[in-house]
Amino acid sequence: MQGRRQRELGIQALLAAALLAVLWWLLDVTAANMAERGIRSGFDFLTEPAGFAIGESLLPFDSADSTLLALAAGLANTLRVALPAILISTLLGTLIGLGRLSTNLLLRGLCTAYVETLRNVPLLLQLLAWYFVVTDLLPLASEALQLTPHVFLSKSGLSLPWFGGDGSLIDLPLRGDMGIVGGAALTPEFLALLLGLSLYTAAYVAETVRAGIQSVPRGQSDAALALGLTRAQLFRLVLLPQALRSIIPPLTNQHLSLTKNASLAVAIGYPDLVSVANTTLNQTGRAAECIALIMAVYLILSLLTAWLSAWLERRSGRWAERS
C-alpha cells in the first residue's frame, strides 16, 4: 500500500515537472517570437482610446473612449440580444415541444418538421440567410411594410413606438419620403441575430421540453385522468411539476449555448463582445490578451449560469414538493 502511494506521488511529480517544462518552453518560444516580430504585450491598451466606432450600443460610446469601454459596450450588446432571445426561444420552444406531444396529427407533424429543419442546418447559415432577407429582400425605408399601426419593417430594420424623450409620453414612428422618423429602431443586424438565435434555440428547447414531459411515467397521467382531472389540470398539477425537474438543467444549458452562439454576431457585423474584441485584436495586435478576455468573460457567464441553474433546481424541487 505504501509502495503504491509513493508510486502515485512519483508519477504526479513527473507529470508536474513535464507540464512545467512544456509551459516554460512555450513561454520562452512565445517571448522570442514576439520580440522578433515586435509584438508588445500587456493590457495597457485597455485604457487607451479605442480609435474605432461601434455601430450600435446601449452605453454611450465614441471612438475617443477607452478600449475597455468598447469591450463593455460589446458585452452589453451580447446581453441585449441574448436575454430577449432566451425569453423568446423558451416560450416558443415550450409551445413547440408541447405541440410535438399533441393528439392532433397536423400540429404534431408541423412541430416535428420545425424541429428537424432548424436543428439540422448550421446556425451560422441561418443567421446569414436572415440577415440577407432583412437587408436585401425587404423594401426600402420609404416604402416600409406596416405590420401594425406605427410598427414598420424595412431594409433599415424594425421601428417601434417607444417612450418619448422630450416631454411627450410616447414617440410614434412615422413613415415619410425620406424613410422613417421617430420611435425606437432595431437595426437589421440585431433583428437577424435575435431572430436566428431565437428560432434555432427554440428547436432545442422543444426537444428538451418534450423529453422532460415524456420522462414522467405514463401511470401518472392515467392515475390523474382516473381521478377525474381535466387535461389542463393534468398538465399543470401532475406533469409540469415533475417534468420541470428534468427540464431545468438541460434548459439552462441551452440558454448558455445561446449566449455562446451570440458570438456568431461577428459574421453579420453586430457589435457583440467577440466582434469588438476581434476589431481590437486587429487594431492592436494583442491577440493573446483579446482572446483571454473573451474566454474569461464567457467563463464567468458560464459559472454564473451554473450557479443560477443550481439555485433554480433547488427552488423547483421545493415547488414540486409544495404543490
Partner 1 sequence: MNQIAATQAWLRRNLFSDAFSGLTTLLLLGGAVYWLPGLIDWMLLQAVFEPDAAACQTVNHAGACWGVVAEKYRFILFGRYPHAEQWRPLLATALLLAVIFASGMRLLNRKFLLTAWALALPAFFILMGGGSFGLTPVGSDQWGGLPLTLLLATMGMLLAFPLAIMVALGRQSGLPLLRGLCTLYVELVRGVPLISVLFLASFLFPIILPQGFSIDVLLRVQAGIVLFAAAYLSETIRGGLQAVPGGQHDAAAALGLGRWQAMRWIILPQALRAVVPSMMNSAVSVFKDTSLVTVVSLYELTGSLSLALAGDAEWRSFHLEGYLFIGGIYWIGCYSMSRFSRGMESKVGAGATAM
Residues that bind partner 1 (CB under 8 A): 8, 11-12, 15-16, 19, 26, 29-30, 32-34, 36-37, 39, 102-107, 110, 116-117, 119-126, 128-129, 132-133, 136-137, 260-261, 263-264, 266-267, 274, 278, 281, 287-288, 290-291, 294-295, 298-299, 302-303
State the nearest-atom distance from the C-beta of 284 to partner 1, in Å: 12
Q: CB of 206 within 8 A of CB of 116?
A: no
State the nearest-atom distance from the C-beta of 107 to partner 1, in Å: 5
Q: State the cell numbers at 157.
A: 430594420
Determine the Cα–Cα distance for residues 289 and 278; give it in Å rounded to an integer.
Answer: 11
Q: CB of 55 within 8 A of CB of 74?
A: no
State the nearest-atom distance from the C-beta of 100 to partner 1, in Å: 13
Dihedrals phi, psi of 105, to nearest 5 degrees: -60, -45
By C-beta, is 69 or 138 nearer to partner 1?
A: 138
One DSSP character per residue, 168-235 reads -SEE--EEETTEEESSEEE-HHHHHHHHHHHHHHHHHHHHHHHHHHHTS-HHHHHHHHHTT--HHHII
By C-beta, is 107 or 172 nearer to partner 1?
A: 107
State the nearest-atom distance from the C-beta of 314 to partner 1, in Å: 22
By C-beta, is 120 or 148 nearer to partner 1?
A: 120
Handedness of CA 18, 20, 21, 26 (dihedral sign): positive
143 membership: H or E segment, kind and range: none
State the nearest-atom distance from the C-beta of 73 to partner 1, in Å: 19
By C-beta, is 160 or 297 nearer to partner 1?
A: 297
By C-beta, is 2 or 103 nearer to partner 1?
A: 103
